[in-house]
Amino acid sequence: MKTTLAIILAMFISAATGAENVGTSHAPDAAGKQDQLIDQVLTLSGMKRSLQKLSMQMAGGLMQAAMQAKPSENGQQKLIKVLERTFEPDLFVGHISAALKKNYSEQRYKNVVQILSTPLAKRMVELEAKDPNPEEMQAFYAQITKTPLSPTRISLIQKLDDSMQASASLNKVAITTVTAGALISGGDCSKARARIKKVIAQNRSDIETATRNSTQIVLSFLYRDVSDADLKAYLKMTENKDSKWMMNITTSALLEKLELSMEQGVRAIAKIIKAHAPKKTMFAPKCGQSMSPDQDDDASARGKQVTTSASARTANSLPGPDVDLRACLGLATSAEIIACAEK
C-alpha cells in the first residue's frame, strides 16, 4: 500500500503546480530537451523511484500467488524471469514518460519543476519517500483512536485524498492485483475464475470503502508532522488545474500499464504453473467444488457482513492501518484470497 500510495502521491507532486499561467508551447525539434525535462520531473518528484518499487511489489505479489501452486525449482526460475520481464521497472517509467511526452507542454512541465523545487514540495517528496515504519503506524493509529484528529485535519486529509485521486487509483491497483493473484490461484478452472471475478465485483464498493479509509489513515500518518497551514497550501497546489491535468495523464498511464502487465503476467504464470506445478492428488477439489463448507456459494451473505461493517464507519472516522489487499495474495487458496479481499 505504502509504495502504491507513494507513487500516487509522487504523481500528484509531479503534477502539482503553483503557476496559474498555462503554457502550451511545444518544441518538436528538441526531443532531447523534452526527455530531459520529463526525466527531471520524474526524478524530482520521486516518481521514478516509486515506480521501481511498485513494479517490484506487483511482481512479488504475483510470485507469491504463483508459489501457492508449488512449482518446481525450474518452474520457479521461469516465473522469476517472466515476472522480471513483465514488471521491468523501466517499462513502467518508459510508459509514463511516453504519456507525458505525448501530451508534452514545456510550460506546464517547467511549472511542475518549479513547484517541485519549492521547500514545501521538497518536504512532501521527502516524507513520501520514507517507508512508513509499521510500529510507528500502529502507534499513530492507537493515538488517533484515543485522541481523534481534529475535524479540520480530517477534512483536509479527505480533500487531499479526493483531489489527488489517491484512493480511487489505489483501489484500482488493489482490485487489479487481487484479481490477478486470485485468478492465478483459480488455475485452469473457468468456474473458479468466474466465481472470483463475481465475488470481487459484488464486493467492489466495500473494497473501495476499505481502500479509501486505509488510504486516509496512511495520508494522516505521512503528514502527521505537517501543519494544517502547510496542508492547506498543499491542497491548493493539488487543486490547481495544471496539477490535475498532469496527474490525470500519469495516473491513467500507470493504471493502463499496470492492467496490461497484470494480464500478461497472469497468462504467462498460468502457462508456467501448468507445466511445472506438481500433480495434485486425485482427491483434490474438482473444478467448481469449494474447498470448505463456508466457501460454498455464500459470497453474497458474507458480502453483506462486510458492507455492514464498512458502512458502519462514520464519514469522519478513520479506520485502522491494516487494510492492504495485496497481503491477501499470500494466502493459500483462491477462496481464502477472496475472503481476505472481501474483508
Positions touching another protein (CB under 8 A) are: 278-286, 289-294, 332-333
- Give the angle subtended at the CA of 272 by the CAs of 267 and 275, to the nearest 5°: 130
> Do the Cβ atoms of 318 and 221 come closer than 8 Å?
no
Q: Which of 38, 62, 17, 72 is nearest to 238 (CA)?
A: 17
Q: What is the DSSP letter of 103?
A: T
Question: Closer CB to another protein, residue 25 or residue 292?
Answer: 292
CB 75, min distance to another protein, A: 13
Beta carbon of residue 322, minimum distance to another protein (angstroms, whole number) = 23
d(CA 329, CA 225): 33
Which one, of 49, 34, 17, lies nearest residue 234 by Cα? 17
Nearer to another protein, 95 or 276 (CB): 276
Burial class, 162, CB count within 10 angstroms (exposed 0-12 / middle 13-18 / buried 19+) = middle
Confirm if 280 and 178 have CB atoms less than 8 A apart. Answer: no
Q: 129 or 277: whose CB is closer to another protein?
A: 277
Angle, helices 31-44 vs 47-67, to 10°: value is: 70
For the record, the C-alpha cell of 337 comes out as 484470497
Nearer to another protein by Cβ, of 22 and 287: the residue is: 287
- Helices 2-15 and 166-186 meet at what angle, rounded to 10? 140
Q: How far is CA 13 from the centre of its chain?
A: 16
Report in angstroms how near the CB of residue 71 gets to another protein at its nearest: 12
Task: Please report how close the Cβ of residue 70 comes to another protein at its closest, in angstroms.
Answer: 9
End-to-end CA distance of the chain: 16
- Provide the minimum distance between the beta carbon of 178 and another protein in the complex, in angstroms, as a whole number: 21
Q: Smallest gap, in angstroms, from Cβ of residue 192 to another protein?
A: 12
Q: How far apart are CA 26 and CA 87, in angstroms?
A: 32
CB of 138 to another protein, least distance (A): 23
Nearest approach in angstroms of CB 335 to another protein is 9
Nearer to another protein, 284 or 315 (CB): 284
Residues in the chain: 343
H-assigned helices in 103-165: 106-116, 119-129, 134-146, 151-164
The answer to whether 44 and 109 have CB atoms below 8 angstroms apart is no
